[in-house]
Amino acid sequence: MNSEQPLLAVSDLSHLYAPGKGFEQVSFDLFPGEVLGIVGESGSGKSTLLRALSARLTPQQGQIHYQGRDLYAMSESDRRRLLRTEWGVVHQHPLDGLRPQVSAGGNIGERLMAVGQRHYGEIRQQASRWLEEVEIPVSRLDDLPVTFSGGMQQRLQIARNLVTQPKLVFMDEPTGGLDVSVQARLLDLLRTLVQEMNLAVIIVTHDLGVARLLAHRLLVMKEGRVVESGLTDRVLDDPHHAYTQLLVSSVLG
């Protein structure tokens, strides 16, 4: 997997709102098909880091290269195009990532139109196929997302993001607001899709169970700094840093 060029190369990235608030000196490489989990307690800077990685917040320092191209040397419109096509962003609250006034089919179709598809019948067909893929009845194609349950809305947001076959998807607590049984089904679905599509994913979660299930590698954050990183099983089964040990034991305890 690691013989190729990294999809995303991050070096010495920092953005601080105030000392300890934000993140500093973050570096890592992400390869195609790799799932990186960012874990840590509330306020450790996970979401701020994810926003900077996904071109939604210009960092104060450091560099990000996507497929060898300097992300913040690109024009604003090129970065936006990436977000609509080769990248996806799955928000914790599905309505933050959906258009509430547009039907389920329209929410999926909009991304296809962003990659140049114009044929109405084909777009509708692909939207139907994606509803099936995420286990939403195709009969709901013309319904508005606000008429869906929270779990269905989240599955629709995932379909909207994946329909363009992105290379890289950013997820911020994608199962966070859902009850436990809905969470488990969604996690299963995500794991299957990520494997089938060979997606690279950066997922922020405070839930180590979610990290264990989805992520190949972890970054552990505390007060804006990465205190430990490594393969998921190694980090969770044999944590080296005292903070990671505390995090793991608080879940077990």
Q: Which stretch binds ligand ATP (CB under 6 A): 41-49, 74-82, 191-199, 207-215?
A: 41-49
Q: Beta strands 61-66 and 35-40: pairing type?
A: unpaired
Q: Which residues pair with 11 in a beta bridge?
A: 63
The b-or-e profile of 44-68 (16+ CB within 10 A means b, else e) is bbbbbbbbbbbbeeebeebebbbee
Residue 42 sits in the site that holds ligand ATP (CB under 6 A): yes
Rounded to an integer, what distance in angstroms lies between the CA atom of residue 86 and that of residue 63?
A: 19
Residue 93 sits in the site that holds ligand ATP (CB under 6 A): no
Q: Which residue has the tokens 């996507």?
A: 66
Residue 43 sits in the site that holds ligand ATP (CB under 6 A): yes
C-beta of residue 36 within 8 angstroms of C-beta of residue 217: yes
Residue 48 sits in the site that holds ligand ATP (CB under 6 A): yes
Q: Which stretch binds ligand ATP (CB under 6 A): 25-33, 35-43, 75-83, 242-250?
A: 35-43
Q: Which residues pair with 87 in a beta bridge?
A: 168
Rounded to an integer, what distance in angstroms lies between the CA atom of residue 184 and that of residue 204?
A: 17
Nearer to ligand ATP, 17 or 120 (CB): 17
22, 62, 109, 166: which one contacts ligand ATP (CB under 6 A)?
A: 22
In whole angstroms, the minimum distance from the beta carbon of 146 to ligand ATP comes to 24
Extract the tokens encoding 70.
Answer: 């300097």
Nearer to ligand ATP, 31 or 170 (CB): 170
In whole angstroms, the minimum distance from the beta carbon of 17 to ligand ATP comes to 3
Nearer to ligand ATP, 95 or 189 (CB): 95
Considering only residues 126-145, where is the footprint of ligand ATP by CB under 6 A? Answer: none
In whole angstroms, the minimum distance from the beta carbon of 19 to ligand ATP comes to 10
Q: Beta strands 168-172 and 200-204: pairing type?
A: parallel
Nearer to ligand ATP, 3 or 42 (CB): 42
Burial class (CB in 10 A: 0-12, 13-18, 19+), 120: exposed
Nearer to ligand ATP, 107 or 175 (CB): 175
Residue 17 sits in the site that holds ligand ATP (CB under 6 A): yes
In whole angstroms, the minimum distance from the beta carbon of 233 to ligand ATP comes to 23
C-beta of residue 199 within 8 angstroms of C-beta of residue 168: yes
Residue 232 sits in the site that holds ligand ATP (CB under 6 A): no
C-beta of residue 10 within 8 angstroms of C-beta of residue 23: no
Burial class (CB in 10 A: 0-12, 13-18, 19+), 73: exposed
Interacting residue ranges for ligand ATP, rule: CB under 6 A: 17, 21-22, 40, 42-48, 206
